[in-house]
Structure 1
Amino acid sequence: MNAQNHESTAHAPLIIDIAGCQLTGADRRRLAHPLVGGMILFARNWDSRQQLLQLCADIKSVRPDLLICVDHEGGRVQRFRTDGFTHIPPMRAFGEMWMDDGKGGKYREGSGAMRAMDAAAAAGYVLGSELRSCGVDFSFTPVLDLDWGGSGVIGDRSFGRDPRMVAVLARSLMQGLLQSGMANCGKHFPGHGFVKADSHTDIPVDRRALKAILADDAAPYPWLSTALTAVMPAHVIYPRVDARPAGFSSKWLQDILRGQLRFDGAIFSDDLSMEGARRINAEVVSFAEAACAALNAGCDMALLCNQSVGDGLIVDAFLADMDAALAAGRWQPDANSEARRVALLPETLPQPWDELMVQPAYMHALDLLP
């Protein structure tokens, strides 16, 4: 199918990656593919701020509307850590600050919560503005999962166990991101914190009833309905709701998230190369089959990560398979999905790094971090 046919589809749902710190000819060709709507950066794509700024400029030169994404939450999930990037604390640090009202003569009820909200907003602003100074458009943050104590993959990435606290601190972080001109992504809907298994290597199963999940783990999502711009579903199976993982479930994504909870922002699949994403109804499927299943279930965009490493032929095959699937009608392009993708692109110009470093709001935000 040629590019002209693709343009009529008006939907670029695929997010891919690149292997190195500079674009190769193969990278440019893949990023120019009409079904590619963005790319996700990893630590292997980082050498320095100047290199990252140049890489992002080169990506935009291929297509200005490509969404440049990164998993940059703080704590152990922070891709860029050197050359001036602030080390953002794990989200648990803000939850702990919330609980600390001081002792003795310094005790003041509720003061910890107020400090934590201010600090979380500062973290969002620092995180977003530093990324944007280097040309990055969007970070997959904040984590809305609750910390039940048993999940190694979530753990200190969570603000805490109480969904009310999680929602308030996440909203504060989103406020800081918004101040920097960056959108946000709540993850992993409807909640990954209750299960112990890691969906990168396994398929976690949460056997609770829908009512229990909505009352607890998923509670932040409707509370944040006016602030969430994107959501990433969990590669978790909730068998009392649906036999499919949430990211492949139209019941979870269309009936519950869009219908019941009235979310109208973008929905990203989680990484389709993860073990939890390759099995649907107990069968191992191809990357393209997984992407089609995610799009048909209600995702607007599908991520395929870490397959560009080496010769990257897997990415080429994936794009060709998605072309064929589109031609065969195995997934339908959606103009609303494309509008949601484009809405995540920043609308303001970023501040140059050197100007950001001396900006009063940024310097104040650094002082507020725990």
Structure 2
Amino acid sequence: MSLDPGLRRLALRTLLAAFPGTTAPGWAVDLVGEGLAGYTLFGYNIAEPTQVAAVTAALRSARRDVLIAIDEEGGDVTRLAHATGSPYPGNAALGTVGDASLTQRVYEAIGSELAALGLNLNLAPTVDVNTADENPIIGTRSFGSDPAHVAAHAAAAVCGLQDAGVAACAKHFPGHGATVADSHLELPTVDAPLDLLRARDLPPFAAVVEAGAKTIMTAHIRVPDLTGDGPATFSSAALVDLLRGELGFTGVVITDALEMKGAALAAGGTARAAVPALAAGADLLCIGARVDADLVEEVAAEIVRAISDGRLPLTRVEEAAERVTALAAWAAGDRRSDDDGVGPAFPAPRLADLGYAAARRAVQVEGSLDGLGAPLVVQLVASSTIAEGPVPWGLGPHINGTEQVRVAATEATAADLLTRAGSRPIVVVGRHTHRTAEARTLVETLAASHPVTVVEMGWPSRWRPAGARAFVTTYGASHANGRAAAEALGLA
């Protein structure tokens, strides 16, 4: 059965899709002309600046105010620099420095790069208050564990991005920082009363609303006292009563990716997740990363059917589309040029010095780094989260003439590493090293009989290996964090 053309176009106006490859396929450009709100670019869409500018220009040729989004948080979550690591430290490092004006400058630099490439919506900053040390998905993406501190930096980040002409998206409402599960893989539960949520998790969202954030992203988390059995993405109590009513947000509510298990499993599939999200008060539906033309049409058809059979009020979808249209008009404001309405083909010069200087300020050293000389650098293999992706990390690109080996803690032996090191000190570089017994045991065995320095590039814990000469914390694993650590060690 063919869809009503007017309702199909209305449904498309609420969708943020994706496409594979480093060029915009014909179907993707055609959908923009037919009303699709826009696209999110992922690492697999990014090769180099000229190519990115060509992709955004192709999309904009179909409609000038198309939304072109990206997850460019800096730090451990980067798409533009997915092949090398970000030249900017992430939120944990910026929060550690504690200078909100620096946070604003860093985010303005990120925004300037995005705007120069034709991107106009950044799915950042993460404003979750990371109160669970073992949080598997937020961690270094957070400005810290203190609500007021996170709120100040969250507002600064939003102002920085939007001063550069790029819409900010504060995430993940009503707060993903207390979870010990990953909503990409399951539906996490935050069993907190509303008073605790208001005191602990909501201050950063109140701050970004006050700062004028154009968009806020939902979390696929369950808060029983607020959302009942389902995720916040499907909860009008969360999105309408709390976010709009209590906090006064008037911008666009964007969903986290509907393909994530926290939403898709609860709804019975990605397309089916669209209707409860819209009904709950979401305006722009991020479908996900694995998207093709058929999935876009399936989601649109699900929305149209729900309108037609009365499950979804037409007025609710019209309201959502109107908000998205207003956002798109704002985001298109800095996209004019004298000839074709397309932004510049090359990015403004990268303000790399700003990012590297900020990362250096975040490094914390416990103990002594004297006498390292030319150590053996041992990088412990660590997996990346789905949000981060397989981005390079560590000291490797920054140390010259210093031997480095990569080992898995489950396979390496202290005896082999000690033999390889000989008389040289050992520097162990890891991410969340404390989380596995094998890694802790390996480091502590080495430190019991040999000079060992540990570099921690993940969210820090209270664990400090007995016998280690020094413990260095970078608060992130970006390219900037790696260089800062190498410089602190005297190896750069």
Query: Could you say which residue in structure 2 is the equivalent of 1:104?
Result: none
Query: Could you say which residue in structure 1 is the equivalent of 2:311?
Result: 330
What is the aligned counterpart of 1:193 among 149, 152, 177? 177
Query: Could you say which residue in structure 2 is the equivalent of 1:55?
Result: 55
Query: Could you say which residue in structure 1 is the equivalent of 2:262?
Result: 276
Query: Could you say which residue in structure 2 is the equivalent of 1:313?
Result: 294
Q: Deviations over 1:188-243 (max 9, x none)?
A: 11110101100000110111111111111112222332222211111000112222
Q: Which amino acid aligns with 1:131?
A: L
Give the alignment of 1:1-370 within 5 angstroms.
Answer: 1-4=3-6, 9=10, 12-34=13-35, 36-81=36-81, 87-98=87-98, 116-148=99-131, 149-227=133-211, 228-243=213-228, 244-280=230-266, 284-308=267-291, 313-331=294-312, 332=314, 333-344=316-327, 345-349=331-335, 352=344, 356-357=348-349, 369-370=358-359
> How big is the alpha-carbon RMSD for the aligned residues of Structure 1 and Structure 2?
2.5
The CA distance in 1 between the partners of 2:118 and 2:42, in whole Å, is 14
Q: Deviations over 1:87-146 (max 9, x none)?
A: 221100111111xxxxxxxxxxxxxxxxx2121011111110101111111101111101
Inter-CA distance 49–135: structure 2 relative to 1 (3 Å threshold): same
Inter-CA distance 355–248: structure 2 relative to 1 (3 Å threshold): closer
Percent sequence identity is: 30
Shift of the alpha carbon at 1:252? Answer: 0.6
Q: Retained in 2: the 8 A contact 1:11–1:334?
A: no
Query: Could you say which residue in structure 2 is the equivalent of 1:102?
Result: none
Query: Could you say which residue in structure 1 is the equivalent of 2:435?
Result: none
The CA distance in 2 between the partners of 1:82 and 1:216, in whole Å, is 32
Query: Could you say which residue in structure 2 is the equivalent of 1:113?
Result: none
Q: Retained in 2: the 8 A contact 1:21–1:45?
A: yes
Q: Which amino acid aligns with 2:127?
A: L
Q: Deviations over 1:131-176 (max 9, x none)?
A: 1111111101111101221212000000000111111111111221
The CA distance in 1 between the partners of 2:238 and 2:63, in whole Å, is 33
Q: Retained in 1: the 8 A contact 2:88–2:356?
A: no
**Structure 2 unaligned residues grouped into runs of 5+:** 337-342, 360-492
The CA distance in 1 between the partners of 2:173 and 2:139, in whole Å, is 16
The CA distance in 2 between the partners of 1:294 and 1:224, in whole Å, is 22
Inter-CA distance 236–366: structure 2 relative to 1 (3 Å threshold): closer
Q: Could you say which structure has the larger radius of gyration?
A: 2
Secondary structure, counterpart of 2:37 in structure 1: strand
Inter-CA distance 77–355: structure 2 relative to 1 (3 Å threshold): closer
Q: Retained in 1: the 8 A contact 2:137–2:182?
A: yes
The CA distance in 1 between the partners of 2:27 and 2:11, in whole Å, is 23
The CA distance in 1 between the partners of 2:87 and 2:357, in whole Å, is 13
**Structure 1 unaligned residues grouped into runs of 5+:** 99-115
Q: Which amino acid aligns with 1:247?
A: T
Q: Deviations over 1:239-285 (max 9, x none)?
A: 122222111000111111111111111101110000001133xxx51
> Which shows bigger deviation, 318-327 or 89-98?
318-327
The CA distance in 1 between the partners of 2:298 and 2:319, in whole Å, is 27
The CA distance in 1 between the partners of 2:8 and 2:295, in whole Å, is 21
The CA distance in 1 between the partners of 2:70 and 2:208, in whole Å, is 22
Query: What is the TM-score normalised by the length of structure 2?
Result: 0.65
The CA distance in 1 between the partners of 2:127 and 2:301, in whole Å, is 35
Inter-CA distance 328–29: structure 2 relative to 1 (3 Å threshold): farther
Query: What is the TM-score normalised by the length of structure 1?
Result: 0.85
Shift of the alpha carbon at 1:10? Answer: 8.9
